[in-house]
Amino acid sequence: MSIIEKAVDKLRSDDSSIKKKDQQQVEISNDSQCIKMGEHAAYQESQDTLPSSSVEKAELQQSEVPLQPSALNQPEGRTKAEPEVPREPDLEIMALQIQGVLTADSQRTRHAEEMRMIKRPILQNAFGKKHKPSEYSNLLMVTSAIAGEGKTFTSLNLALSIAAEMDRTVLIVDADLAKPGMSRLLKVSDKPGLTNYLRDEQKDIGKLLLRTDIPKLTVLPAGPRHAHSTELLASNHMKQLFHELATRYSDRIVLFDSPPLLVTSEACVLASLIGQIALVVESGKTPQHLVKDALAQLSSTDNVSLILNKCKKGFLSTQMGSYGYGYGYGYGSESDQQ
């Protein structure tokens, strides 16, 4: 072979090794692109600096896709594609903007102060030194002699006030099965509730409780109407539920928004099972003899408080709006009655 032929041969072999090198770089580059498209879209802007060695590539993957703290705390069995999301409340009470309902801003108002005065003896009865757990004194029934005296309105405000306590939780039960005002007020009339449990359609009461935007307040709606609500409330099932609700959480007040005593038979059935009763009396409207009749229906229960509702401005030195509350504790003295 001549010198010229040898030189041509060498040039050919150099050319083919350059081609091989180019091919290799394209392959690496394509490989990087796959990573980018599949998992790390953040690489897209830095394509120009993509490394050619796989070690560098691995380093880049780690630095460009930092692990989130939440990813480190994934519960067992949970994958990255299924991050843990805190459960949203089932019911946003504050967003409903119900007129006259306590809010975080109204904690210093006369209205809030009146609620504090009402709740103190109730909490004392429920958790004070003299309370007996066997008497279910953490179960509170809010009732009245006749309809429309303010049971539902008072129940909600009282529940919000108790939920503001550091170490108390509250469950509101809409126990007015014939006229479920609380469920209507909170816009949960269409949700399953107490009747579903009492009819054995839902055995786990926990599945019927609605979490609210107030961290320590839950709600059990009334559920669908039922023709035999008195019988449902008088059933053994209800007695079991009372026991379960009274004993499950030692720091919880369960507040039953109930029907009026003199108009329905359900209220008397509930009163016979419950530990504490708050009787709402509409100021200047409910005749005294009806209040006395209602109290007579409750003679088997020791813990009865009176709440004088819708007091006119000036009455009991109330300064909020045109209405307010007064309260009475026990009903032995004349001053507690109208």
Footprint of Mg ion (CB under 5 A): 151-152, 181
> Is residue 229 a contact point for ligand ATP (CB under 6 A)?
no
Instruction: Name the DSSP letter for residue 48.
Output: G
Closest approach, Cβ 140 to ligand ATP, in A, equals 15
- Interface with ligand ATP by CB under 6 A: which range of 73-81, 120-128, 130-138, 173-181? 173-181
Nearer to ligand ATP (CB atom), residue 32 or residue 258: 258
180 binds, among Mg ion, ligand ATP, none (CB under 5 to 8 A by kind): none
* CA quadruple 266, 130, 296, 288: dihedral sign: negative
Please give the C-alpha separations between residue 238 and each of 141, 169, 201, in angstroms, as whole numbers: 14, 21, 14
Residues 308-332: b if buried by 16+ CB within 10 A, e if exposed: bbbbeeeeeebebeebbbbbbbebe
> Is residue 36 a contact point for ligand ATP (CB under 6 A)?
no
Closest approach, Cβ 309 to ligand ATP, in A, equals 5
Q: Which residue is nearest to ligand ATP (CB)?
A: 150
DSSP symbols for 102-164: --GGGTTSHHHHHHHHHHHHHHHHHHSTT--GGGTTTEEEEEESSTTSSHHHHHHHHHHHHHT
- Interface with ligand ATP by CB under 6 A: which range of 8-16, 29-37, 150-158, 231-239? 150-158
Closest approach, Cβ 305 to ligand ATP, in A, equals 16
Interacting residue with ligand ATP among 91, 102, 122, 151 (CB under 6 A): 151
Residues 28-60: b if buried by 16+ CB within 10 A, e if exposed: beeebeeebeeeeeebeeeeeebeeeeeebeeb
147 binds, among Mg ion, ligand ATP, none (CB under 5 to 8 A by kind): ligand ATP
Closest approach, Cβ 318 to ligand ATP, in A, equals 10
Binders of ligand ATP among 237-266, rule CB under 6 A?
260
Q: Which residue is nearest to Mg ion (CB)?
A: 181
Alpha carbon distance, N-terminus to C-terminus of the chain: 130
Joined together, the tokens standing for residue 243 give 């026991």
275 binds, among Mg ion, ligand ATP, none (CB under 5 to 8 A by kind): none
Closest approach, Cβ 271 to ligand ATP, in A, equals 15
Joined together, the tokens standing for residue 209 give 């409780």
Strand order through the sheet with 217-220: 210-211, 217-220, 169-174, 252-257, 139-144, 276-282, 304-309, 325-329
- Interface with ligand ATP by CB under 6 A: which range of 147-155, 162-170, 193-201, 240-248? 147-155
150 binds, among ligand ATP, Mg ion, none (CB under 5 to 8 A by kind): ligand ATP
Q: Are 129 and 186 in contact (CB under 8 A)?
A: no
Rounded Cα gap, residues 179 and 222, in angstroms: 9
Binders of ligand ATP among 83-142, rule CB under 6 A?
100
> Which residues make Cβ contacts (< 8 Å) with residue 167, sequence separation at least 6?
251
> Is residue 179 a contact point for ligand ATP (CB under 6 A)?
yes
Closest approach, Cβ 152 to ligand ATP, in A, equals 3
Nearer to Mg ion (CB atom), residue 245 or residue 267: 267
Residues in the chain: 338
Give the interface with ligand ATP as residue ranges (CB under 6 A). Answer: 100, 144, 147-153, 176, 179, 181, 260, 309-310, 323
